[in-house]
Amino acid sequence: MIDIEALIPHREPIRVVSEVIELTEESGIVSAAVHECWPLCDGESVSSLVLIEAIAQTAALIEGNKRRLEGKDGVKGWLVGIKSADFQVDRIPVHTVLTIAVKSLYSFDDYGVVEGVVTADGRVLASAVLQAVRFSDEKIKNMTDKE
């Protein structure tokens, strides 16, 4: 069993991924059950926008696992942008079990692009392409020293 909290900085209620099904250096599949404490929840359902966060957290798990295999700390300091997104639903009922599949499309230095698909009961709920930039620990230190 993979310790999610060791690989990504997210903690509940912001952390939405709950179980790693498969994790490699280039892809990952996780599951999550929609919960009342999730962001954008009205008590009965969540906005489909939260699926972007589920894809981003799965991507962070992939990168965190890669860094762990290299003997480095987990992932911190990512800035994520949405290149494209296609939502098939507006809201997802609480307790719906989601499967989030993400693969790396390409990366170089501290920049990467991933593609993610979120399904429930075999139905695609959303797909998105996200880009992420990671600030190195040195860049973060330099920015905070200037303040």
pTM, two decimals, is 0.85
Average confidence score pLDDT of the chain: 86
Q: Are 90 and 48 in contact (CB under 8 A)?
A: yes
* 30-69 pLDDT, tens digit each: 999 999 999 899 999 999 999 999 999 999 888 877 877 7
Using pLDDT thresholds of 50, 70 and 90, give the confidence band for residue 75: low
| CATH number of 30's domain | 3.10.129.10
> Radius of gyration (Cα) for the chain, nearest Å?
15
Q: Please state the domain count of the chain.
A: 1
Beta strands 111-120; 97-108: pairing state: antiparallel
CA angle 33, 112, 109 (to 5 degrees): 140
- Residue 88 structural domain: 4-145
| Averaged pLDDT, 83-101 | 98
